Amino acid sequence: MKHNVVVKTLYNFLLAIASGVVGAIICSWPLLAIFIKLQKTDAIVNLSLGEIMHNYTILLIYLVWPFQTTLKMPNFHTSLSAAEHFYECKLLFQLAVLIFLIGVILSMYAHWRHERHFMTLDKSTALIFMLLPFIALPFALTDFDEFFVIFHHIFFHNSNWLFNPQTDPIINVLTEGFFSACFSIFAIVYELYFARFLLKHK
């Protein structure tokens, strides 16, 4: 019984994280278009909205598609350090997508076998996981720039994420506001994942 609780807890935590990442990746496309228009970053890079979105689509495909091994954006030069950072992001994103797909398949299988209770968390555990992000929330809201720096120090072992706008002009459109919105999408999806357990009657 204790083993089952650990497995269920780990399964749901990993799937919640992966769902948040996948949700942020999907929503990042329309979010970028919105922030380009709001912040007028298209004028900074001297490209049209369509051209920027075409380049970003190429970047997204590279990040999530395992068979796309090279990154070549037609309108944005990519330095060696930036390419290495994008590759590290690719590995993390593909891991999240893989966990998400496995989690969904397992959930569908449990539903088909009428054994969804094996994947269900009790309300107290779900509430604990929902409250975890609130530890970092005040810090993220008051100083997102510092939060962003700490985040990268945790997940990346180098400083390749510090893009130079002169050598990697795509950073001019991938603004702090854009990344903040992507983190918000991740948090919303994560919270909704566990909130559904609190809404169950049993």
The pLDDT-based confidence of 135 (bands split at 50, 70, 90) is confident
| End-to-end CA gap in the chain | 19
Q: Is the dihedral of CA 137, 138, 141, 144 positive or negative?
A: negative
At residue 166, does pLDDT exceed 90? Answer: yes
pLDDT in tens, 53-74: 999 999 999 999 999 999 999 9
Give CB contacts under 8 A, 24+ apart, made by 131-136. Answer: 133/187, 133/190, 133/191
More confident residue, 105 or 200: 105
The pLDDT-based confidence of 136 (bands split at 50, 70, 90) is confident
The reply to whether the predicted model has a pTM over 0.85 is yes
CA 136, 122, 106 angle in degrees (round to 5)? Answer: 90
Q: Is the dihedral of CA 49, 50, 55, 59 positive or negative?
A: positive
More confident residue, 99 or 134: 99
